[in-house]
């Protein structure tokens, strides 16, 4: 019995030691900082109440019903009775390009609050069109405690205080099991360029996921790999269009966002779709909210941006839009994706893993980086 108890105690101590080394910890706020957070949050709420309105983007896949429930939950959380105009049209890149034009032209912003991938957030920041949220850490601790615990990932690196994460996009390999088994799928991006896969898959019209491969591959080598992919692809299709073609049997596989699998299975449990991940490179792109500089309703915008990072909002995003948030990891879809990655021992990388990865991200905004992006786009489209 003593040996058993000693063993249990030893294991408990070892687990505690390992936990301090592996699990991220966030220092608790001082009493003064906590009090400041409470005061600042109440100011935001009162400011939003006076503004009486918020014009914002919500992911189109939420649909009118999902957007309505999200608006209702947000207002109830903070006791607000304001009008929220939720734009569900999508067109993320075009909308951010328009926002940059508005900023440079001194035109009042169309939206108080915008959502987009990190590259789009950075574009509006660089143009001077983003409003930082002062004291965001204290506010986050008070408004969304679960997000404060991982605040460095919620508002990461160079986006800290500007961008606030509400979802992630993990790259997955989706396939039709009736046409190709998981064992016969390419294990790496390079294998995908093998002539035996010619005509078996589609490629999307964007290159955001492809550019992240520069975190692992030499740029020249990666460009040659993308050329091979461009030669092998059947055609260029959006993720959704490609997935539909795959379900119909016109394509064997494609890469897309991991949460697409759950969307298709929810609509049809018998849908012929399987999901796995590339062994050499699995990426995760952050999708964040950013408050526009000069917003007509800045308090409401900041309040929503904070709230959208948390479990309550995440539950609604997963329920209606089937989005993932593998950083927060609270919803059923997110937990399943994280579990699948762990089971396959897949290490996910992103632009914000370190100062070095951020440097590579920033390089893309240089003239040299822009030319490289054009070359990648041409390689994907033309195979040369």
Residue pLDDT, tens place only, 107-158? 999 999 999 999 899 999 999 999 999 999 999 999 999 999 999 999 999 9
CATH 3.40.50.2000, applies to 169-284+345-382: no
Question: In whole angstroms, what separates CA 103 from the centre of its chain?
Answer: 25
pLDDT confidence tier of residue 34, bands split at 50, 70 and 90: confident
Alpha-carbon distances, residue 132 vs 56, 177, 293 (angstroms): 17, 47, 8
Over residues 303-315, the mean pLDDT reads: 97
E strand or H helix at 118, and its extent? helix 118-126
pLDDT of residue 91: 87
pLDDT tops 70 at residue 278:
yes
Residue pLDDT, tens place only, 84-111? 999 999 889 899 999 999 999 999 999 9
Question: In whole angstroms, what separates CA 240 from the centre of its chain?
Answer: 17
Give ranges for CATH 3.40.190.10 in the chain.
34-168+286-328, 169-284+345-382
pLDDT tops 90 at residue 8:
no
Tally of CB atoms within 10 A around 174: 25
Alpha-carbon distances, residue 252 vs 181, 188, 246, 341 (angstroms): 9, 16, 6, 22
Residue 291: strand pairing partners? 113
CATH 3.40.190.10, applies to 34-168+286-328: yes
pLDDT of residue 17: 31
pLDDT confidence tier of residue 7, bands split at 50, 70 and 90: very low
Stated pTM of the model: 0.86
pLDDT tops 60 at residue 10:
no
pLDDT of residue 28: 67
């Amino acid at each position: 019995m003593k040996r058993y108890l000693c063993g249990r105690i030893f294991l408990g101590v070892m687990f505690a030691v390992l936990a301090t080394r592996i699990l991220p910890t966030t220092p608790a706020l001082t009493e003064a900082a906590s009090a400041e957070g409470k005061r600042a949050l109440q100011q935001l709420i009162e400011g939003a109440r006076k503004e009486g309105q918020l014009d914002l983007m919500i992911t189109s896949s939420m649909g009118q019903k999902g957007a309505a429930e999200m608006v209702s939950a947000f207002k109830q959380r903070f006791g607000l009775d304001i009008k929220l105009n939720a734009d569900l049209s999508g067109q993320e890149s075009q909308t951010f390009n328009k926002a940059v034009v508005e900023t440079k032209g001194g035109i009042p912003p169309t939206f108080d609050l915008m959502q987009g991938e990190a590259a789009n957030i950075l574009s509006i920041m660089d143009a001077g069109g983003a409003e930082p949220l002062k004291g965001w850490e204290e506010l986050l601790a008070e408004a969304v405690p679960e997000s404060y615990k991982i605040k460095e990932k919620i508002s990461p690196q160079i986006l800290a205080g500007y961008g606030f994460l509400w979802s992630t996009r993990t790259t997955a390999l989706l396939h039709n099991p009736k046409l190709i088994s998981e064992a016969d799928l390419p294990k790496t991006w390079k294998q995908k360029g093998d002539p035996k896969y010619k005509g078996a898959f589609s490629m999307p019209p964007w290159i955001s996921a492809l550019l992240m491969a520069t975190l692992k591959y030499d740029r020249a080598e990666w460009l040659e790999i993308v050329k091979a992919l461009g030669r092998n692809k059947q055609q260029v299709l959006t993720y959704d269009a490609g997935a539909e073609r795959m379900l119909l049997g016109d394509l064997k596989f494609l890469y897309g966002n991991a949460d697409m699998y759950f969307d298709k299975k929810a609509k049809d449990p018998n849908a012929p779709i399987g999901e796995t991940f590339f062994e050499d490179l699995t990426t995760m792109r952050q999708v964040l909210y950013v408050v526009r500089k000069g917003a007509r309703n800045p308090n409401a915008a900041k309040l929503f941006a904070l709230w959208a990072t948390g479990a309550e909002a995440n539950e609604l995003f997963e329920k209606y839009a089937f989005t993932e948030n593998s950083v927060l990891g609270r919803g059923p879809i997110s937990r399943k994706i994280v579990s699948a990655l762990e089971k396959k021992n897949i290490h996910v990388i992103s632009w914000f893993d370190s100062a070095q990865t951020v440097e590579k991200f920033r390089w893309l905004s240089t003239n040299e980086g822009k030319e490289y992006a054009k070359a990648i786009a041409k390689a994907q489209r033309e195979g040369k």
